[in-house]
Structure 1
Amino acid sequence: MSPLTQTAASAAGTATPNDLCGGQCSDILPPGENGNATLAQILLNQAFGTQPGHAEDQLGPYANLAKGYPSLTNATINTFFNDASFGVSSDQVASTEKPAGRGDVTIVRDKKTGVPHITGTTRYGTEFGAGYAAAQDRLWLMDVFRHVGRGQLTGFAGGAPSNQGLEQQFWRNAPYTEADLQAQIDNAVANNGARGQQALADVKAYLDGINAYIDASDSGRYFPGEYVLTGHKDSITNAGTIDHFKVTDLVALASVVGALFGSGGGGEVDNALSLLAAQEKYGVAEGTRVWESFRERNDPEAVLTVHDGRSFPYATRPDAPQGEALPDAGSVTGEPLVYDRTGSAATATASTASRTAAATALGSARRGMSNALVVSGKYTASGHPVAVFGPQTGYFAPQLLMLQEIQGPGLSARGASFAGLSMYVELGRGQDYAWSATTSGQDIIDTYAVELCQDDYHYLYRGTCTAMDKVEQKNAWKPTTADGTAAGSYTMRVWRTRYGPVAYRATVGGKKVAYTTLRSSYLHEADSIIGFQMLNDPDYVKGPDTFQGAVQHINYTFNWFYADATHTAYYNSGDNPVRASGVDAEFPVWAQPAYEWRGWDPAANTATYTPASAHPHSTDQGYYISWNNKQAKDYTTAPWGDGSVHRGNLLEDRVRKLVAAGGVTRAALVKAMGEAALADLRAEDVLPDLLEVITSSPVTDTTAAAAVGKLRTWLTAGGLRTETSAGSKAYANADAIRLLDAWWPLLVKAEFQPGLGSDLYTAFTHNLPVDEAPSAGHGPTGSHAGSSFQYGWWSYVDKDVRAVLGKSVQGPLARTYCGGGSLSACRDVLISSLKEAAGTTAAQVYPGDDQCAAGDQWCADSIVQRTLGGIKHYRISWQNRPTYQQVVEFTSHR
């Protein structure tokens, strides 16, 4: 039993929890644990850059791994990570607190990071302490996101365009009333017996802790300063209120998290539009064949997480599709969201605002940025499994996640949780096991065509003309010092049907329809609480089987990974609906009983779901990797691009080599992750074949030859985007990197548009963006977000160019596009586009934004902690890795 554990336990007077990691568990979560700041601290930060304690002390170690990983050893891991052992040693205790004077819980914070270690003698006290600590560290952020989930952010935090976009994107997909929010809690409790009752008790205790902190900080006048800046509190008189949290607020928070990271699908209308464009170009049969080759539903060259040859069919293409409701050409329009806009500094029309919100929502839903590297003990130096894994939740100030340790009756875990939902550790470690998740993105959202009747707001529901349900959210805001916008107001309106909210209008065969989106987790945002409760319960999780049993209760779409001292495991979670025979999940279908989910109850939005055995799962596979890639053979994921070149290959290639050599250590696995985090996927996996085409004949053009030379030099150096030295803010091989950044979109267009035609090429780019380089603000993730190379035409270029070279291609594109399949003509296309790229300036490639001057390459790539409060942090060099990350190797098992 370690001294760390003994100290934490003795402080609270409880039994000592087991810590069987032997000091070999580590974690990191930038920028820092402290996400709250008083008004004085905010003003000092804005004037002088002064940071509150523990606000950014994890940012430096996180950033430094980019240059420090090559020389990493097991002994130096905690130079770049925190010690994630249980408890706090006596010489590292920064503070000890009995929140609200309670005798049944203690919060100990350590000197290095300020992470709360919550130890309780009663279940209620433990959860009370968790709520109190959450409010200490993230009160303002929690308040922001409960308003986001309710579509009420502008009225709370001001009418800045960013606030408008944030509330619009989430409320559109989860337009819940207060009754809807309460019903979700009631149903989650009623359907889960004793565990449901315990979850409700935990939530209420957690809320009591939050509200106790609100009262204490209000009376003591140390509440977050943003409440003053947004007009909720008066800095002189202390007039004003901070509203207490209630149970339904947590459901609103959960709906935001689920929409961001735990849902997949919903692209059926865009799929239909690109299919129609392909059929218009090539005819029905050939156009369908071309479309399917770009869709890559089940590409034989795709990297897989479960790679033992087993098949897990889901959302596969039916032999004879039934019930498809494809729109008439040119008839699709997006459903407006914003109405009655007055007095706003933003002057977008309702339709423009609607499209903007939809685009933003798409980008957020595509934030599948987490990764995992897990190696079985059979291949490690110690004989124990090793894991390096974590979620990519974006970079924000304060961070969406927070660190904590919880020890109490039925609770024993340390790790990260979403602020406001931290009654349990959601990703982290238990006494002798650790777990993590990546976004999986399988399709749990379907689009239905509801036939309209009477007018635009009635539809046929099982043969009866039925009124749509109108749900409105009216928002008004005053000018605030926080955002500087003028006073204004608008109304958001969503029309709901039994088949979900209306997203588009169109005609199908001349009939007027509304396209709706039905998500299996819609009206079930609270259900996953049971799975997280189980993960924190040391009496439940005893090994791989019980771990998989726990995550089977999580209805969001995630890949879950597990490691203890002996075993590794994997499970893909989510409520996957069983679709009617013949329904193709890729396209809209008619809203008729024959095409509904099997066993669907529209009132509760429940259905028959695929059994656990049908979900990709595995125990003790030699190794697992995941970077939001394809889960298993025959398992269709919603996003496009699971083909021969995927970001997951950057991990697969490195981990496979480590496993082949054997003797894998924690340091070796961190190095593999760290190098992949700096790799340019296009350079590593596509550029060699592009250069092979170009040099198939001597390159006599001096401009092209110089460009080829620079690219080859960069490839020889590893094709990494890394600084010349730590803190230099300049890349080695900067010219080559600029060349590829400029060349990629040019070469893709030159390669594919002539053959596809402008209309079909544009339609396919709506399904899958061409590029997602680190500096690509136009990509689905946006600028300064870190995560890169998930969405792009890497696989298409790879397959097409290999076909031109005469190489073997499994699952080829239906046609060869580069130069019409001629090697010499393809070479001309590539050289011409490369020369065009060579002629672009750095300022053209990196045009500048609110963070960077035009032409500043390093800054354009850099990661920014986007402010969600009043505190700002410094930029760090680009890395493509999880935000929260664990490094674990357990030494023994209970």
Structure 2
Amino acid sequence: MTPVSQVAAAAEVTAANDYCGNQCSDILPPGQNGNATLAQILLNQAFGTQPDHAGDQLGPYANLAKGYPTLTNATINTFFNDASFGVPSDQVASTVKPAGRGDVTIVRDKKTGVPHITGTTRYGTEFGAGYAAAEDRLWLMDVFRHVGRGQLTPFAGGDPSNQGLEQEFWRHAPYTEADLQAQIDNAVATNGERGRQALADVNAYIDGINAYIDASDSGRYFPGEYVLTGHKDSVTNAGTIERFKPTDLVALASVIGALFGSGGGGEVNNAISLLEAQEKYGVAEGTKVWESFRERNDPEAVVTVHDKSFPYASKPDDPQGEALPDAGSVAEEQLVHDRTGSAAGSAAATASTTATKTAMSSARRGMSNALVVSGEHTASGHPVAVFGPQTGYFAPQLLMLQEIQGPGLSARGASFAGLSMYVELGRGQDYSWSATTSGQDIIDTYAVELCQDDYHYLYRGTCTAMEKVEQKNAWKPTTADGTAAGSYTMRVWRTEYGPVSHRATVDGKKVAYTTLRSSFLHEADSIIGFQMLNDPDYVKGPQDFQNAVQHINYTFNWFYADSEHTAYYNSGDNPVRATGVDAEFPVWARPAYEWRNWNPTTNTAQYTPASAHPNSIDQDYYISWNNKQAKDYTTAPWGDGSVHRGNLLEDRVKKLVDAGGVTRASLVKAMADAGLADLRAEDVLPDLLKVVNSTPVTDSTAAAAVSRLQTWLTAGAKRTETSAGSKRYADADAIRILDAWWPLLVKAEFEPGLGSDLYTAMTDNLPIDESPSAAHGPTGSHAGSSFQYGWWSYVDKDIRAVLGESVQGPLAQKYCGGGSLSACRDLLISTLKEAAGKTAAQVYPGDEQCSAGDQWCADSIVQRELGGIKHGKISWQNRPTYQQVVEFTSHR
């Protein structure tokens, strides 16, 4: 052990490089420790006891929901951790020199157990980062390297959720081992000295992981999940924990990229809904109706970059090469084959399909948010930022905290487990950065013409065989519950234009639709950008930050703050499409419609220049909650219209900026307040009530419902407990009524005009609702993230049009009551009465977590178990999972 005096001296040296002035804070629930021995797991399951630091950040995180109204700068660290560099000598909990090395020390603090890694050599520093990662997340890292390879069920058993995980991700990244290695070789070969350094860092990091595996195995303190899944014997210690290798990290990166950084796709569903609209209204009017719902460049959409246009993926005047399917001909390509045993039955198959859609969907596409204010509008004159990723709630968490200090490395923050050779979201010596998912379109769908049979296609005039890639999975009972044995094969057919996703006919001709993603075969490339962000000699200001994140090929919004400047940049390899190609729909797989300068061997192409990506330095303020980046920048997700959850931040931050004197506390309050707001109530309900109240409401049931909703609106339309820990909402009846009313009113408002087929097709593009208790849509239930996807913009525009108010970018037609105010009012009152009559048990039917009718529980956040440790539920908040609060006081 290192003497405490030496540790204190090291902490003081490190702190000298800290320019935050004790004004950097962060939080990451449930806790830093994601490993538990078998004994700790059994104690947790029997008595609820928690291993040290497994759940100690969950309470402070949860308490902000009731504590934020009285927050001050002085009390921020009641709800966050001090994120200063180093560890004060009286706060040192442990000091370890991993594997007895003399060139690296891991110090953990008493409060959180976060590792502070200090190395005197680059190799030793990265070795320590790998060792610390394995100490905190070995089981999770092992799970996700198997997820990335499509091998989770043989590793962790045949549970439907395991099947769902591997199916969800392997479909999008069906890589062979050769593919994984080639991505490492390419990243090194194309990035010069930084590429060589990245490979050296990866190898050192893996050496550290493997050193911990060896130590924990010989000491018998490895994660208990290895025993529970049959990989180790608790008595004899027989069995092995497979050592890590570099290609494991590429498999891990492919999962994270699929979750958060791959915007686009969906062209086949777009085509189906367009054809339905044209069938309903005719080609010209149907196209107009479809475009009005697509809202690809809505003038009322909230944007991150103010007053500047960045055209991308715009609608061409004369579309070329479209390959729209024949009506009714589309079939999704089958992924799973040869089911046997427990996987063969319909119940298991259905459960697996459901798990595929929801197992990780609480993280998928929900990465957010950011509030950044320039120093011109703050009390101190220094920029203030409150930002972080919304990566879902898991036990253990997908992210982990660390501080890393060594040659060419100086940062503290969060990284995805198994990819923590660098801090991915956090702070440097005098700057901080974070990200939200941006979702711009880097995925296109091509229609390849089939020849000879269903597994050959025309590639530049030559009949070419598709490549068959398979993953065969089998499992047997490994636990006391006796889960039955089974097996299945996942099969993907790959073409030069990407994996096959659907089959169809186009003008009677058989085609396969393929999905081409610019980051496919390039999962490792982004490592260079993260390396730069961690290098204090590289990032010295906002331009350096923007240059660094330009090396990240995934689709993210990046935010920056130091003591003088703020900045923003939208990353991703945006392909330059052929003239006339509409990114919204499938196009023919022919040279005329390929990406410019596309090389199918390397999957590289011409990309839009950095200046064409939305970017900014020192704007008055920035907000992002997965909303539109800038005017004319077309994002892939539907729903960037007049009402978006980004408005909840925009309204609050703009108000603060207009008043001036913004502080860390006031910006946290704005975030927390938005995180408890019901978007439908705040931004749509007032206009709905205008229609309802356009004539006095005489029906007693409807009048009582209107009164409750109005009272809730007046109180702020929040979903908050009556008191901390009460597990009961204030305004519970109003919340129940709106939760019941929304799906009823949307269906009654739009289905009659659209017709059932088109209405259904449109809901396949964009679900109508994403309330906190919703068990449908992209996020599933108990996931925190809410109000990202829904029909609130459509309702808002339609209701305002019926009221005769000005609407920019209106829907092509008026739908509520056929455009008649009185008929619309009758429709709303009728559905409101129906909603008011629904019991809590009908609105909140219960699930494996909650009893029917338990409204608070239905909304509550659950830390989804990815290991053996369980945590209690917390009250709903719509906020980042990992979050920073920063205000630097000086600069190098």
Scaled by the length of structure 2, what TM-score is found? Answer: 0.98
Q: Which digits, 9 at most, give the CA deviation of each residue in 1:251-271, with x for residues without a partner? A: 000000000000111100000
Residue 11 of structure 1 and its aligned partner are, at CA, apart by: 3.8
Q: Which digits, 9 at most, give the CA deviation of each residue in 1:77-103, with x for residues without a partner? A: 000000000000000000000000000
* Secondary structure, aligned partner of 2:514: strand
Q: What does residue 242 of structure 1 align with?
A: 241
Say if 1:468 and 1:130 are closer, same or farther in 2 by CA, change over 3 A.
Answer: same
Q: What does residue 826 of structure 1 align with?
A: 824
2:445 maps to 1:418: no
Say if 1:754 and 1:695 are closer, same or farther in 2 by CA, change over 3 A.
Answer: same
In 2: Cα distance, 1:379 partner to 1:32 partner:
34
Say if 1:256 and 1:107 are closer, same or farther in 2 by CA, change over 3 A.
Answer: same
Residue 355 of structure 1 and its aligned partner are, at CA, apart by: 6.1
Q: What does residue 294 of structure 1 align with?
A: 293
Number of aligned residue pairs: 889
Q: Which digits, 9 at most, give the CA deviation of each residue in 1:490-512, with x for residues without a partner? A: 11100000000000000000000
Q: What does residue 632 of structure 2 align with?
A: 634
* Secondary structure, aligned partner of 1:827: helix
In 2: Cα distance, 1:351 partner to 1:338 partner:
10
Q: What does residue 583 of structure 2 align with?
A: 585
Residue 354 of structure 1 and its aligned partner are, at CA, apart by: 8.8
Q: What does residue 19 of structure 1 align with?
A: 18
Q: What does residue 892 of structure 1 align with?
A: 890
Letter paired with 1:272: A
CA contact (8 A) 1:459 1:468 kept: yes
Q: What does residue 110 of structure 2 align with?
A: 111
CA contact (8 A) 2:552 2:571 kept: yes
2:393 maps to 1:395: yes
Q: What does residue 844 of structure 1 align with?
A: 842
Residue 310 of structure 1 and its aligned partner are, at CA, apart by: 1.1
Say if 1:12 and 1:736 are closer, same or farther in 2 by CA, change over 3 A.
Answer: closer
2:229 maps to 1:230: yes
In 1: Cα distance, 2:375 partner to 2:333 partner:
53
Residue 478 of structure 1 and its aligned partner are, at CA, apart by: 1.2
Q: Which digits, 9 at most, give the CA deviation of each residue in 1:661-717, with x for residues without a partner? A: 000000000000000000000000000000000000000000000000000000010
Q: Which digits, 9 at most, give the CA deviation of each residue in 1:194-238, with x for residues without a partner? A: 000000000000000000000000000000000000000000000
In 2: Cα distance, 1:545 partner to 1:141 partner:
36
- Once superposed, what is the RMSD of the aligned Cα atoms? 1.5
* Secondary structure, aligned partner of 1:659: helix
Say if 1:94 and 1:362 are closer, same or farther in 2 by CA, change over 3 A.
Answer: closer
Q: Which digits, 9 at most, give the CA deviation of each residue in 1:565-603, with x for residues without a partner? A: 000000000000000000000000000000000010000
Letter paired with 1:813: L
Letter paired with 2:192: G
Q: Which digits, 9 at most, give the CA deviation of each residue in 1:10-54, with x for residues without a partner? A: 348977651000000000000000000000000000000010000
Q: Gaps (5+ residues) in structure 1?
A: none
CA contact (8 A) 2:15 2:86 kept: no
Q: What does residue 645 of structure 2 align with?
A: 647
Q: What does residue 881 of structure 2 align with?
A: 883
Residue 347 of structure 1 and its aligned partner are, at CA, apart by: 2.0
2:177 maps to 1:178: yes
**Residue 803 (structure 1) aligned to one of 801, 804, 807:** 801
Q: Which digits, 9 at most, give the CA deviation of each residue in 1:154-174, with x for residues without a partner? A: 000000000000000100000
* Secondary structure, aligned partner of 1:560: strand
Residue 7 of structure 1 and its aligned partner are, at CA, apart by: 7.5
Residue 368 of structure 1 and its aligned partner are, at CA, apart by: 2.3
Letter paired with 1:250: L
CA contact (8 A) 2:161 2:355 kept: no
CA contact (8 A) 1:451 1:459 kept: yes
Q: What does residue 504 of structure 2 align with?
A: 506
Residue 366 of structure 1 and its aligned partner are, at CA, apart by: 4.5
Q: What does residue 733 of structure 1 align with?
A: 731
In 2: Cα distance, 1:362 partner to 1:841 partner:
31
Q: Which digits, 9 at most, give the CA deviation of each residue in 1:109-158, with x for residues without a partner? A: 00000000000000000000000000000000000000000000000000
Q: What does residue 716 of structure 2 align with?
A: 718
In 1: Cα distance, 2:617 partner to 2:572 partner:
19
CA contact (8 A) 2:165 2:356 kept: no
Q: What does residue 341 of structure 2 align with?
A: 343
Q: Which digits, 9 at most, give the CA deviation of each residue in 1:622-668, with x for residues without a partner? A: 00000000000000000000000000000000000000000000000
Letter paired with 1:550: A
* Secondary structure, aligned partner of 2:106: strand
* Secondary structure, aligned partner of 1:322: coil
CA contact (8 A) 1:9 1:16 kept: no
CA contact (8 A) 2:549 2:571 kept: yes
Residue 481 of structure 1 and its aligned partner are, at CA, apart by: 1.6
Q: What does residue 544 of structure 2 align with?
A: 546
Q: What does residue 85 of structure 2 align with?
A: 86
In 2: Cα distance, 1:871 partner to 1:180 partner:
35
Letter paired with 1:611: P
CA contact (8 A) 2:378 2:660 kept: yes
**Residue 466 (structure 2) aligned to one of 445, 459, 468:** 468
Letter paired with 1:415: G
Q: What does residue 167 of structure 1 align with?
A: 166
Residue 485 of structure 1 and its aligned partner are, at CA, apart by: 1.9
Query: Pairwise mapping of residues 265-276 of structure 1 onto structure 2 (< 5 A)?
Result: 265-276=264-275
In 1: Cα distance, 2:528 partner to 2:705 partner:
56
Query: Pairwise mapping of residues 373-384 of structure 1 onto structure 2 (< 5 A)?
Result: 373-384=371-382
* Secondary structure, aligned partner of 1:405: strand
Which is worse superposed, 671-680 or 353-362? 353-362
CA contact (8 A) 2:160 2:352 kept: no
Q: What does residue 447 of structure 2 align with?
A: 449
In 2: Cα distance, 1:893 partner to 1:90 partner:
25
Q: What does residue 607 of structure 2 align with?
A: 609
2:764 maps to 1:790: no
2:706 maps to 1:708: yes
In 1: Cα distance, 2:665 partner to 2:518 partner:
40
In 2: Cα distance, 1:369 partner to 1:560 partner:
12
In 2: Cα distance, 1:629 partner to 1:852 partner:
32
Residue 369 of structure 1 and its aligned partner are, at CA, apart by: 3.5
In 1: Cα distance, 2:609 partner to 2:362 partner:
29
In 2: Cα distance, 1:117 partner to 1:484 partner:
42
Q: Which digits, 9 at most, give the CA deviation of each residue in 1:786-830, with x for residues without a partner? A: 000000000000000000111110000000000111110000010
CA contact (8 A) 1:9 1:17 kept: no
In 1: Cα distance, 2:762 partner to 2:847 partner:
28
CA contact (8 A) 1:168 1:357 kept: no
CA contact (8 A) 2:169 2:258 kept: yes
Say if 1:171 and 1:350 are closer, same or farther in 2 by CA, change over 3 A.
Answer: farther
CA contact (8 A) 2:164 2:357 kept: no
Q: What does residue 622 of structure 2 align with?
A: 624
CA contact (8 A) 1:255 1:525 kept: yes
Q: Gaps (5+ residues) in structure 2?
A: none
Q: What does residue 45 of structure 1 align with?
A: 44
Identical amino acids, percent of aligned pairs: 87
Letter paired with 1:151: G
In 2: Cα distance, 1:40 partner to 1:365 partner:
30
Residue 839 of structure 1 and its aligned partner are, at CA, apart by: 1.1
In 1: Cα distance, 2:109 partner to 2:786 partner:
34
CA contact (8 A) 1:12 1:120 kept: no
Scaled by the length of structure 1, what TM-score is found? Answer: 0.98
CA contact (8 A) 1:752 1:818 kept: yes
Say if 1:530 and 1:577 are closer, same or farther in 2 by CA, change over 3 A.
Answer: same
In 1: Cα distance, 2:465 partner to 2:363 partner:
30
Say if 1:156 and 1:482 are closer, same or farther in 2 by CA, change over 3 A.
Answer: farther
Q: What does residue 206 of structure 1 align with?
A: 205
Letter paired with 2:290: W
Say if 1:297 and 1:362 are closer, same or farther in 2 by CA, change over 3 A.
Answer: farther
Q: What does residue 514 of structure 2 align with?
A: 516
**Residue 750 (structure 1) aligned to one of 748, 751, 762:** 748
* Secondary structure, aligned partner of 1:790: coil
In 2: Cα distance, 1:769 partner to 1:663 partner:
40
CA contact (8 A) 2:15 2:85 kept: no
Letter paired with 2:222: F
Say if 1:692 and 1:68 are closer, same or farther in 2 by CA, change over 3 A.
Answer: same
